[in-house]
Amino acid sequence: MIPPQFDYIRASSIDEAVDILSEDPNAKALAGGQSLIPLLKLRAAAPSKLVDIGRLKELRYVRQAGDGLAVGALATHAELERWAGPCGVLPEAARQIGDPQIRSMGTIGGSLAHADPAADWPAVVLALGAVVKARGPSGLREVPAEEFFQGPYSTALQQGELIVEVSIPRCPPRASYVKIAKTHNDFAIAGVAAAVWAKDGVVEEVRLAATGVGLKPVRLRKAEEAIRGRKIAGDLLAEVAEAASREVEPVSDVRASAEYRRAMAGVAARRALRRALGL
Amino acid sequence: MRHVGRPLARLEDYHLLYGQARYVDDIELPGMLHAGFVRSPYAHARVRRVDASEASSMPGVVAVFTPQSGKPFDFAPGGKVRYQGEAVAMVVAADRYALYDALERVYVDYEPLPAVVDPIKAMEPGAPLVDESLGTNVSHREKYASGDVERALASSDRLVEEELSTGRVVPSAMEPHGVVAAHDGRTLLIYDSTQKPHVVRREVARSLDVPLAAVRVVQPDVGGAFGSKIQVYPEEVRVAAAAMALRRPVKWIATRSEDFKVTTYGRGLVLRYKAGFTRDGVLKAVKGEVIADAGAYDWFGFDLASTAATMLPGAYKVVDLDVDAVSVLTNKPPLGPYRGAGRPEATLFIERIMDLIADETGLDPVEVRRRNLVPAGPYDNPLGLHYDSGEYLAGLERGVAATGYYDLVRRAEAARAEGRVLGVGMSFYIEITTYGHEVAIVRAERDGSFTVAVGIAPHGQGDATGIAQLVADELQIPIERVRVVWGDTDVVPDGVGTDGSRSLTAGGSAAVLAARRLLDELRKAAEELLGGPATYSEGVFRSGDKSATVGEIVEAVYRGKVKAQLEAMEVYRARPTFPYGVGVVEVELDPETGIARPLLYRSYDDIGVVVNPLLAEGQIHGGALQGISQVLYEQVVYDQDGSLATPNFAFYHVPKAVEAPRYEPHFAETPHRSDHPTGTKGVGEAPTVASAAATIRALEDAIRRAAGRRVRLRSTPVTPEEIYRLIHGGA
């Protein structure tokens, strides 16, 4: 790697990292490095300082919290892949990210902060109704996932703010994440996460979210409406696929045309719901 | 015990497995400087001015070479750059950080010019010219014809006219290009990640006007090439020139992104043709042109088109042919050889035609090939190639049986009931391997062991193991008594290197003949020592009741008791030979997404003598995957301005282990030998030749099952999106 020159600081506490990041707008936090390091290699990023938070053990955890889960920002994809507790959609999604090397290094917090419009975690945290907890110069702030993603590589994080935790209030009893990609370690052409609460064979509550099909990850609200309150049956699948395809606003790029991504959003939604409901 | 034919483990692996491999970038010399290149962001632009003043004054910068520096720093010939990534200046600095900072501070004033990206459009009048001095983008055109194609077309029952194309691929060697050069006042020493150290030596000596004897090229461990390290790139000469000019060692290692910009690309051939066939499925005539998307400089474009044109008839009986080979300049990096180099394209083209005949006549694809195949060689292909040996028709039957082709077809049919969409494709191929001379030196040591130096330059293939097996058998000694060295122009004076599936055939034959010649020389000494005619067996000469080991004879020579050459050199000229066989691919298609995965590759190959089945199977694995991947995964995209839209592995997909199919290779039980001393025909490229043609048919088969109607695939790669549209409709 031959990046432009930068200073390197290994943060010994969250406070130290926040201090440095808030003083210097050109400083960047380094966690697992799976997005930032490639940008440095390409000389596409030229930070003044890298604040390495990778050794802050206090940010590296996954634990149950009430009906939900608290995931430390530095939990790696590999650690989430091995998670055997509630919110089984986390390991299901984690195993679809990159390859074993990337999963060993990359962190959920880093992925959310980078906000690649085709990354996997954003769709999952949206479907889980997660709250992103960020620490900044003025203390702890809670940002619902809905408000966190603002555009390609753009989030609600303000200068000096670090993600410290992803908090999932309530693990859905049925959930799934389906990613459609050309090869195993490629970015999603379309990915859809589904979280469903059912009662007496009826969809009581559902959250669907998609990635790769627009400038940022999105809730599929029309698709949700199409099935909320409905009896669980095979006919939901076609309807959810159609609604999802219709409501996304994908863009064309070298990986796929907008039309193809639109179609794949439907396929991913159908498959995610089918897997979540066990149909 | 004989060694040839046994699956011996590679002798080349120890240092790789124990972390002792030494690639170019591992080489550090005292006082070494680092070189890098300023590269054009435009595919086509006039270079008005190169301003290196700021870069030159930066800390750590030792030199900047610009077009004004003169040869060999004649960047931007004709005052313009012709592809995105073409070098316009070279910076040499004390370390890579200083180097890359300085590269950003060389200011080039470009005047962008309209770029020509598509070779077909490049042939049209009024297209922007890549090389104005030619007055056209057609760099070379040559006709290969036989029989009377017009009459044969006129008398055909059915005619077809279409265009088939193989998209460009990135060779994607794991190790990018790199070179280290150092001049000590007597010797210009070059460490180079190359397939051809002796060719590099000649090119550098010629370009820099130094005696050949003063240039030594060493090929260290090389992390793959697949043909992309055949060309002697301008960078290699310029790094050597900089080392001489600056009197310091200089290293250049391409980054991966740089490798995507400058390495020669593979495939990139188009066949525009008209063909006629009978209602019985017999191909009567092909008239057309093979067009190479040669890129900005016609380094290999014409050669590739010409290979594909002359191999187009394959082993089929068609004699009425009229095929032009055309190379066309475009504003893209130069085209170059890539595993198969013209034969995978020729085979894909002719096998696509065979499949079309099958679909049009309703005949079984195997039956179509049966009706068209030349029964057996030797056979003179109507376009001038002499196929040496083989039973093509019987080979087809054996191949179809060995691969269980019809079982796979039945399995694909049965899978529909389970809701799975499988597709099966087969191809019959014949390909040309081996050319040129090769050099080997065999030396007898004092203890009766032997050192073999060869001019071939293997870089992962395991040829040294194969050559050790051949020489050990020739000398009737254990393989542990033979050491094979290569990749150093000081140990063997000449050679072509490793490409064209020729190394074991050409290099191995040279080594076998050199060993034979050395044995004759030692026998003369033995007879003088023993006082009578001597026989040789297993390292020992015997005459009557007296005997002498090879070691004792060598000792006697060094003590002056007897005179003999202890080293024998053989220059072997190797004529082409023609392996052939059957490749079968099974794919599974997800009809909802258009994404297809290869499940199985089965093959039946007559590659002549199989020296080492383990090595040969390894070649089948890697070669087949590259052919499959050409069809399923690897896509190079340029925008209309000639900018590469797939500039690295985040956008360009090479298959990983998870994408690989199961491999079940079979080799002919009674192979047809080549007439070379080794009897081998080469296997490095055969699986790539066979697999691409079989994969595209397998996809077609799967899409037909999913869509419920016949489709025709005419180009590679076939993207999931394209497949999706074929199944579901849409623009």
Other beta carbons within 10 Å of B150: 13
Closest CA of chain A from B646, distance in Å: 8
Residue A22 covered by a domain: yes
Query: Of B282, B339, B335, B343, nearest to B309 (Cα)?
Result: B343
What is the CATH number for A68? Answer: 3.30.465.10
What is the CATH number for A23? Answer: 3.30.43.10
Plot region of B497 (φ>0 → left; ψ -120 to 50 → alpha; else → beta): left
What are the Cα distances from residue A240, in Å, to A271, B166, B715?
A: 10, 39, 35
Of B633, B646, B721, the CB nearest to A256: B721
User: How many domains in chain A?
Assistant: 3
Half-sphere exposure of A276 (CA within 13 A, CB side): 37
Give the confidence band of A185 by pLDDT, cuts at 50, 70, 90. Answer: confident
Half-sphere exposure of B5 (CA within 13 A, CB side): 10
- CA–CA separation, B482 and B469 (whole Å): 9
With a cut of 80, say whether residue B470 has pLDDT above it: yes
Domain containing A205 equals 174-277
Residue B1 confidence (pLDDT): 67
Identify whether residues A107 and A88 lie together within a single domain. yes
Mean pLDDT of B544-556: 98
Of A38, A43, A257, the CB nearest to B721: A257
Geometric angle at alpha carbon B38, from B37 and B41, rounded to 5°: 130
- CATH 3.30.365.10 correct for B172-263: yes
The sign of the dihedral angle between the CA atoms of B298, B303, B306, B308 is negative
Residue A1 covered by a domain: no
Mean pLDDT of B650-671: 96
Query: Of B266, B84, B85, B261, nearest to B167 (Cα)?
Result: B266
DSSP tally for chain B: helices H, then strands E: 19, 29
B-chain residues within 8 Å CB-CB of A180?
593, 595
Domains B115-171+265-387 and B172-263 share a fold: yes
**Domain extent listing, chain B:** 31-113, 115-171+265-387, 172-263, 390-431+577-731, 437-573
Identify whether residues A136 and A201 lie together within a single domain. no
A-chain residues within 8 Å CB-CB of B721?
256-257, 260
Plot region of B163 (φ>0 → left; ψ -120 to 50 → alpha; else → beta): beta
Query: Of B694, B725, B649, nearest to A263 (Cα)?
Result: B725
* Entry field: residues in chain B: 731
ipTM over 0.85: yes
What is the CATH number for A255? Answer: 3.30.390.50
Residue A1 confidence (pLDDT): 77
Closest CA of chain B from A17, distance in Å: 27
| Average pLDDT along chain A | 97
Identify whether residues A137 and A93 lie together within a single domain. yes
What tens digit of pLDDT does each residue of B279-328 get?
999 999 999 999 999 999 999 999 999 999 999 999 999 999 999 999 99
Give the confidence band of A71 by pLDDT, cuts at 50, 70, 90. Answer: very high
What tens digit of pLDDT does each residue of A125-169 get?
999 999 999 999 999 999 999 999 999 999 999 999 999 999 999
With a cut of 90, say whether residue B654 has pLDDT above it: yes
Per the CB < 8 Å rule, is A184 touching B99? no
Classify burial at B425, counting beta carbons within 10 Å of its beta carbon; exposed 0-12, middle 13-18, buried 19 or more. buried
Give the confidence band of B154 by pLDDT, cuts at 50, 70, 90. Answer: very high
Residue A238 covered by a domain: yes
Instruction: State the fold for domain B390-431+577-731.
Output: Aldehyde Oxidoreductase; domain 4 (3.30.365)
Write the DSSP string, A169-190.
Answer: SS--SEEEEEEE-SSTTSPPSE
Q: Does A185 reach chain B within 8 Å, measured CB to CB?
A: yes
Mean pLDDT of B339-350: 98
B587 Cβ contact list (under 8 Å, min separation 6): B422, B423, B424, B425, B596, B597, B598, B599, B632, B695, B698, B699, B702
- CATH 3.30.930.10 correct for B31-113: no
Give the confidence band of B94 by pLDDT, cuts at 50, 70, 90. Answer: very high
Of B96, B633, B651, the CB nearest to A2: B96
What tens digit of pLDDT does each residue of B3-26 get?
999 999 999 999 999 999 999 999
Side chain identity at residue B532, one-letter code = G
With a cut of 70, say whether residue B398 has pLDDT above it: yes
Give the percent of chain B with pLDDT over 70.
100
- CA–CA separation, B646 and B432 (whole Å): 32
* Token pair of B377 as six digits: 């060689």
B-chain residues within 8 Å CB-CB of A4?
100-101
Residue A2 covered by a domain: no
With a cut of 70, say whether residue B731 has pLDDT above it: no
Identify whether residues A148 and A187 lie together within a single domain. no
Closest CA of chain A from B668, distance in Å: 34
| Average pLDDT along chain B | 97
Per the CB < 8 Å rule, is A185 touching B104? no
Residue B561 confidence (pLDDT): 97
* Token pair of B152 as six digits: 């044969």
Which of A168, A184, A217 is the last residue in one of the domains? A168
With a cut of 80, say whether residue B673 has pLDDT above it: yes
Identify whether residues A156 and A256 lie together within a single domain. no
Cβ–Cβ < 8 Å for B594, B723: yes
B-chain residues within 8 Å CB-CB of A5?
97, 101
Chain A residue nearest residue B255, CA to CA:
A1
What tens digit of pLDDT does each residue of A223-251 get?
999 999 999 999 999 999 999 999 999 99
**Domain range B437-573, its CATH number among 3.90.550.10, 3.30.365.10, 3.50.50.60, 3.40.640.10:** 3.30.365.10
Indicate the class that CATH gives domain B115-171+265-387.
alpha beta
Identify whether residues A62 and A85 lie together within a single domain. yes
HEC-encoded secondary structure of B1-52: CCCCCCCCCCCCCHHHHCCCCCCHHHCCCCCCEEEEEEECCCCCEEEEEEEC
Per the CB < 8 Å rule, is A5 touching B720? no
Mean pLDDT of B189-202: 98
Which of A123, A151, A168 is the last residue in one of the domains? A168
Quick check: helix, strand or coil at residue B326?
Answer: strand
Residue A160 covered by a domain: yes
